[in-house]
Amino acid sequence: MAKTVLVTGASAGIGKATAIYLAQNGYNVYGAARRTEKMQDLKNYSIKPIALDVTKEGSITACIEQIFTEAGNIDILVNNAGFGSSGAVEDVPMDDARYQLEVNVFGAMRLTQLVLPKMRQNKYGKIINISSIGGKIAFPLSGWYHASKFAIEALSDTLRMEVKPFGIDVIGIEPGGIRSEWAAIANEHMMRISGNTIYKEIAANAEKATANMNLPEPIVIAKLIKKSIEARNPKTRYAGGFGAKQILAARKIVSDKLMDKIIMSQMKG
């Protein structure tokens, strides 16, 4: 029987591309997001759109219960829902910081908690956590986003060891730059938060540096996710997208202070 997959954040970008690609390759796919109106076209691929707000317990439990009722279980969870809240650490309101962690971390982990019992019962499961190269390296004006992805990296490591004895794999996906609405939203937020503060110069330069990048399409990551799901002995992490492998390799060998200088050199007008 076809494996049942839940892909969160399926209304755009990596989530939407992943839902479509997996459905085209024989998986029984549920695509979940708040913006259900942006998922109606997924029905053309036999994907079942489902409403999900990962910051609301009732929405999370209703989503999981609906899939369990209809499909019996969830074999693969792709924790993709997330966004980037940019702005200097000093400027970002604490409510915004909490919401960033609520969406990117706590929502993903609550979904994970709810799918694990059936996966354990079936002695099979895949938890795919969409992290980022920003879970290994931090850039200025994205501190809370990086905090959320560093957290996902740590939780993935812990989970992987905890659930491996039950036949469940936990896999981290670390995208670099990918063509999507993500960067535009993050930049808009950054300029609104820090565009008129003491950090306005670095904010303007950061916006300029990311405005016209030639980035690959999200299908690059969708293919990486499928590869990780189908690997007999999956890696703990897969990286792809613009600059991902090069940046992660540099991070392993370059000192913190030298990396700071390299990053900040790109933030000058």
Specify whether 11 is catalytic.
Answer: yes
Identified catalytic residue from 3, 27, 48, 131: 131
pLDDT at 269: 59
Instruction: Identify the pLDDT of residue 207.
Output: 83
128/231 Cα distance (integer angstroms) = 13
Active site residue 145: yes
Q: Residue 259: CA atoms inside 13 Å, Cβ hemisphere, count? A: 15
- 235 in catalytic set: no
- CATH for the 4-265 domain, from 3.40.225.10, 3.40.50.300, 3.40.50.720, 1.20.120.1780: 3.40.50.720
How confident is the model over 160-179, as pLDDT tens digits?
999 999 999 999 999 988 88
| Set 21, 27, 30, 145: catalytic member | 145
**Could you give the residue ranges of the DSSP H alpha helices within the chain?**
13-24, 57-71, 94-101, 107-122, 143-163, 182-194, 200-211, 219-230, 244-253, 256-265
Annotated catalytic residue, options 16, 48, 126, 149: 149
Looking at residue 84, its pLDDT comes to 84
What residue segments make up the domains of the chain, in order of their start? 4-265
* Helix, strand or coil, per DSSP, at residue 94: helix
Phi-psi sector, 87: left (phi>0), alpha (psi -120 to 50), beta: left
Q: Give the residue ranges of the chain where pLDDT is below 70.
A: 182, 212, 269
Is 148 designated active site?
no
pTM for the full model? 0.94
Q: Which entry of 11, 86, 142, 194 is annotated as an active-site residue?
A: 11
